[in-house]
Chains A and B, each alone.
Chain A
């Protein structure tokens, strides 16, 4: 009797800790709405429009080439995820939009992103264009000026995941691993 009671008491504790099968590790938006379109210039010299990536899963993030903390980690993570995906990475496009249009032009973004993965495309434009892009995704950025006049920029560091149909499906907060991205990308690439 005592043994039965102990079994009942201890029996089901671990089950609740199991992750839900098929669920994304990223935060999921519902209902899915169309990702706000970008009206920027690409670091590849072409106009940058999300519509041109229909059929691919797009990983969209914001940052700047002089960033010494968050951006290199984010970009290295995304490059690592693409490597781990192998051939399937051809259907994944990383788009990185600058929050520092005063310093980042197309050539500078191309060089910066190319050091992580040459397939990455940067988004540049005028201050007004960048502000509009940031606003549409709820991206905040704050300039911190040093005594020598140089500055850095604190900015939102999440990665937006846009599905093959152009829907803004999910948001991966900063700090996730390449394996987490691979997990979610495999699910979304099957759809």
Chain B
């Protein structure tokens, strides 16, 4: 009795196209980040590890809303400036980042989930991450 709905869900998860609202994965460095860090607050604004998926959310969009310049890996962002970095290759990228207490940040770019199993895994991970946010 339960088999048909389970198969339907698995079939949908494995074969329906995966999609996201935007290719941009946005992260903002809030105003006051530098001041808080200088005051000794070990504030973590951005996750130390960001996961992107090619063909879905494969553009990292950073906005510096702080009052001071912030270095994100390849560049320096002035106050009010944003940096939109597209990725075209699946790999792990390590960047320096002054918005992190550790000074480091990893961007993990994964391939597009083309196969049914990878689609199911992608959906399951998205679902779990949305639940924990």
The answer to whether A and B belong to the same complex is yes
Distance from A34 Cβ to chain B, minimum over Cβ atoms (Å): 10
Counting CB contacts under 8 A, is A67 at the interface? no
Instruction: Evaluate contact between A17 and B54: CB separation under 8 angstroms.
Output: yes
Instruction: Evaluate contact between A140 and B96: CB separation under 8 angstroms.
Output: yes
Counting CB contacts under 8 A, is A96 at the interface? no
Instruction: Evaluate contact between B18 and A138: CB separation under 8 angstroms.
Output: no
Q: How far is the CA of A73 from the CA of B69 in the complex (A)?
A: 29
Residues of A near B16 (CB, < 8 A) are: 9
Question: Interface segment, B31-39, B43-51, B83-91, B124-132?
Answer: B83-91
Distance from A82 Cβ to chain B, minimum over Cβ atoms (Å): 21
B-side interface size class:
20 to 34
Instruction: Evaluate contact between B86 and A30: CB separation under 8 angstroms.
Output: no
Q: Name, among B18, B56, B76, the residue most crowded by chain A CB atoms within 10 Å (CB to CB).
A: B76
Residue-wise interface mask of B (34-68) relative to A, using a CB-CB cutoff of 8 A (1 in contact, 0 not): 00000000000000000000111000100000000
Counting CB contacts under 8 A, is B5 at the interface? no
Instruction: Evaluate contact between B74 and A12: CB separation under 8 angstroms.
Output: no
Residues from 18 to 57 in A contacting B, C-beta threshold 8 Å: 19-20, 23-25, 27-31, 33
Q: How far is the CA of A17 from the CA of B17 in the complex (A)?
A: 11
Cβ-defined partner of A30 (8 Å) among B15, B19, B55, B82:
B82
Cβ-defined partner of B15 (8 Å) among A6, A27, A171, A172:
A6
Instruction: Evaluate contact between A31 and B76: CB separation under 8 angstroms.
Output: no
Cβ-defined partner of B12 (8 Å) among A9, A13, A158:
A9
Residues of B within 8 A of A (CB): 12, 15-20, 23, 54-56, 60, 69, 71, 73-78, 80-86, 88, 93, 96, 112, 114
Query: 23 interchain pairs (CB within 8 A)?
Result: A9-B15, A11-B17, A13-B18, A20-B23, A20-B86, A25-B88, A27-B60, A27-B75, A27-B84, A28-B85, A29-B77, A30-B81, A30-B82, A30-B83, A30-B84, A31-B81, A140-B96, A156-B96, A158-B73, A158-B75, A160-B75, A171-B85, A173-B74
